[in-house]
């Protein structure tokens, strides 16, 4: 993140993912400080709140800067549901790939970065481009909201079908790959 020192301005606020993340070197607060942004430009959405108030924090933020090497999980889903674009740095472990999976499922794989340089460049570019952030928010409110990530009924049907297939295999004393139905 040291490479982003030339970026001095961030829009509104950038939300970090948790109290623990706010203390970590990969937190949004630390990232903003490294980039020279004022401390009021970054924050953590960690204090316990009622769900509508909590989600409203993401609506007030222009951009969610994901943490690494441990990515946001549920908080990333919350941010995307609330319409807040998220930039993540994909790692090599499950915990560092969750946000990349969420962004892919919601139709925004372009917000997944594979190295720190790309992560910083993407954040700075989006911080400077209000139109791009608006396009991302419109996507999250439209096609993103209708994506597989938020299709609970479809996910439930697929999970139920998988459980039935597992039970069938158990009764037949076999172990076979299970194809999860689409839709």
- Domains of the chain in start order, with CATH, are 2-148 (3.40.50.2000), 151-183 (no CATH)
Cα separation, 86 vs 72, whole angstroms: 10
- From 106, 181, 88, 100, select the one nearest 147 (Cα to Cα): 106
- pTM for this entry: 0.70
Pairing of the two strands 63-65 and 14-16: parallel
E strand or H helix that includes residue 134: helix 130-141
pLDDT in tens, 40-92: 555 555 567 778 888 888 888 899 999 988 899 999 999 999 999 999 999 99
E strand or H helix that includes residue 118: helix 116-128
pLDDT in tens, 29-43: 555 555 555 555 555
- From 54, 46, 68, select the one nearest 112 (Cα to Cα): 68
């Amino acid at each position: 993140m040291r490479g982003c020192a030339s970026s001095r301005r961030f829009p509104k606020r950038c939300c970090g993912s948790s109290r623990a993340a706010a203390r970590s070197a990969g937190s949004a607060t630390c990232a903003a400080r490294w980039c020279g942004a004022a401390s009021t430009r970054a924050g953590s959405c960690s204090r316990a709140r009622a769900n509508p108030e909590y989600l409203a924090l993401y609506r007030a933020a222009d951009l969610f800067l994901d943490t690494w090497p441990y990515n946001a999980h549920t908080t990333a889903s919350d941010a995307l549901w609330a319409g807040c674009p998220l930039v993540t740095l994909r790692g090599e472990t499950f915990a560092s790939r969750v946000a990349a999976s969420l962004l892919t499922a919601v139709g925004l794989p372009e917000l997944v970065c594979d190295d720190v340089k790309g992560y910083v460049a993407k954040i700075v570019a989006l911080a400077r481009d209000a139109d791009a952030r608006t396009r991302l928010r419109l996507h999250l409110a439209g096609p993103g909201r209708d994506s597989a990530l938020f299709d609970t009924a479809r996910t439930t049907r697929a999970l139920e079908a998988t459980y039935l297939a597992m039970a069938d295999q158990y009764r037949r004393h076999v172990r076979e790959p299970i194809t999860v139905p689409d839709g």
